[in-house]
Structure 1
Amino acid sequence: MNRLKISIYYLQELNYRLAYAILGTFFLFSITYTYKQGLIFIFLPKGLSHFVSTGLTEIFFTYLQLCTIFSFSFGFGIALTQLYLFLRPGLYAFEAKTIFNLLITAIIFYICLYIFLFPIITKVLWELFSDYSQNFTAIDLTFEPRLQDYLSHLQQLSKILTLSFPCLIALNIVQRYTNRKTWVKYRGIAYITAFSISAFITPPDVLSQTLIGLPLIIVYEIQLKIWALYEGYKKKLLIRQPIESHKYPYRDKK
């Protein structure tokens, strides 16, 4: 009977925390939908004053898609926080500390990523690709950006940046149980895995899969290069470290 009461208590607590996450997501959705035009204005490239819409319901569903992405992204963070608070009493001290540090690191990482890095990447990509349409003088070519296409490109870029943190965590976990030679030996399998992940989360076209898979491969190579530099630095540090004779008293006796 006591086990049944405890199970009911935990189920009630889980329902409460799930309700907090759902209510928080709907609250964020209502806020983002209220300020949807200002939200789009934040992501507008410099010098662009208008977008083109070709469908009757395109603007409505574009607003809806943008607000849904934002609310579910923040709601996922709320759900993870509530899940940690639910599991915290049953965890060991080192497990709770590790998960807490990981959660705080992820929150700080994504905040810095989307506040500082995301606008810079968006600006650079816009200036890079918009120059082709402005400099194309062989025929009369007018560039009229569509709102839905622009937000779709931003969504693909957001997927790339969002996957960067889990990939770094997964690579660091694998790094503890393997060596660098194994990474070099099975580099081809890592490439195939990266494109398999990109094929799973993107539409079935080569460009989208390349935009997701190539950054994963770049992250893998950067991690491998940092590992090699760290091992070289560690070897030089061991070579330069002097050997103290008082640590080995048995050598003096011989």
Structure 2
Amino acid sequence: MSQADTAPQEGFMSHLVELRNRLIKAVIAVMGVFVVLFMYPGASVIYDFLAQPMLASLPQGTRMIATGVITPFMVPVKVTLLAAFILALPYVLYQAWAFVAPGLYRHEQKLALPLIVSSSLLFLAGMAFCYFIVFNTVFAFITSFAPQSITPAPDIEAYLSFVITMFIAFGVTFEVPIAVVLLVRMGIMSVEKLREIRGYVIVVAFVIAAIVTPPDVISQFMLAVPLWILYEVGLLLARNIKPRKPDEDDGDQASESSSTSKTD
């Protein structure tokens, strides 16, 4: 087998090794944070904090229930793992970017730090908005409809599943400004075109909210309206963004090739 045939295989294997190393570093970071959180403040304390909005909406003295044998142990552990992943998210995103960065142009690599910081902060902001505002409103609204003949006592595993779904929905929703800016920067869509499809975006926002959130009007509005507002924020930010031009790529290729030739 010639060197020309073995070169692509070696390049593919090197990419696999690089991907494995990045994944290992990300997993180690998450597990390291998990161990720290598990020791202090502890899995039960973290779950109690997560369950506070639901407990506040229940009748006084009512608690949540656990129907499984190992559920009282496994659910707090899952919550602690979720918290560890959230805290380690900037490092995980950095590892993902470090893997794809060598295949990008130089001007695209300069977006690394702003993208990592802004996407992490916006995702956390979406989760915070969901926890402190949406949960309190939605749970109180749902509990108010419970008949007087029953005592609501949600299962902790079902509650965790619901919380994760809502966190992901609101976290992704708060990433809309970044998506709008990237669409304009990459030259995929212009600000004028994005403004023209504003009506379709609003309709899609309410459709997504109806699918993801519980079947009540309040929670649907609390997801759809922020999505719409964040879309408008993205349009405002995108006004100052210049679309990428093909000559930028050519310039980057020339500079990179020249630097490579000097190195060789």
Question: Normalized against structure 2, the TM-score is what?
Answer: 0.60
Residues 96-115 of structure 1 mapped to structure 2, 5 A cutoff: 96-114=109-127
Would the aligned equivalents of 2:174 and 2:230 in 1 still touch at CA under 8 Å?
no
The match for 2:45 among 38, 44, 47 is: 38
Cα distance 1:61–1:74, how it changes in 2: closer, same or farther (>3 A)? same
The match for 1:219 among 227, 242, 247 is: 227
SS of equivalent residue, structure 1 residue 82: helix
Report percent identity of matched pairs: 15
The match for 1:129 among 127, 141, 157 is: 141
1:21 and 2:26 equivalent? yes
Greater displacement, 164-173 / 214-223: 214-223
One-letter amino acid matched to 2:20: N
CA distance in 2 between partners of 1:8 and 1:222 (Å): 41
Question: Structure 2: 5+ residue runs without aligned partners?
Answer: 240-264
Corresponding residue of 1:248: none
Give the CA RMSD over aligned residues. Answer: 4.4
SS of equivalent residue, structure 1 residue 207: coil
Tell me by how many angstroms 1:150 deviates: 3.0
Corresponding residue of 1:56: 69
CA distance in 2 between partners of 1:121 and 1:25 (Å): 27
Would the aligned equivalents of 1:159 and 1:212 in 2 still touch at CA under 8 Å?
no
Question: Normalized against structure 1, the TM-score is what?
Answer: 0.62
Residues 1-254 of structure 1 mapped to structure 2, 5 A cutoff: 3=7, 10-34=15-39, 35-43=42-50, 44-45=52-53, 50-73=63-86, 77-114=90-127, 117-121=129-133, 124-125=136-137, 128-129=140-141, 132=144, 139-174=148-183, 177-180=189-192, 183-184=195-196, 187-188=199-200, 191-192=203-204, 195=207, 207=215, 215-216=223-224, 218-220=226-228, 223-224=231-232, 227=235
Q: What does the per-residue CA deviation read over 1:116-145, in whole Å, with 9 as the maximum and x for residues that have no partner? A: 5344225632663366168x6xx4443334
Would the aligned equivalents of 1:168 and 1:219 in 2 still touch at CA under 8 Å?
no
Equivalent pairs, count: 222
Question: Structure 1: 5+ residue runs without aligned partners?
Answer: 232-254
CA distance in 2 between partners of 1:55 and 1:18 (Å): 33
Q: What does the per-residue CA deviation read over 1:36-65, in whole Å, with 9 as the maximum and x for residues that have no partner? A: 101112222375763222333433443344
Would the aligned equivalents of 1:133 and 1:141 in 2 still touch at CA under 8 Å?
no
One-letter amino acid matched to 1:41: D
Cα distance 1:180–1:12, how it changes in 2: closer, same or farther (>3 A)? closer
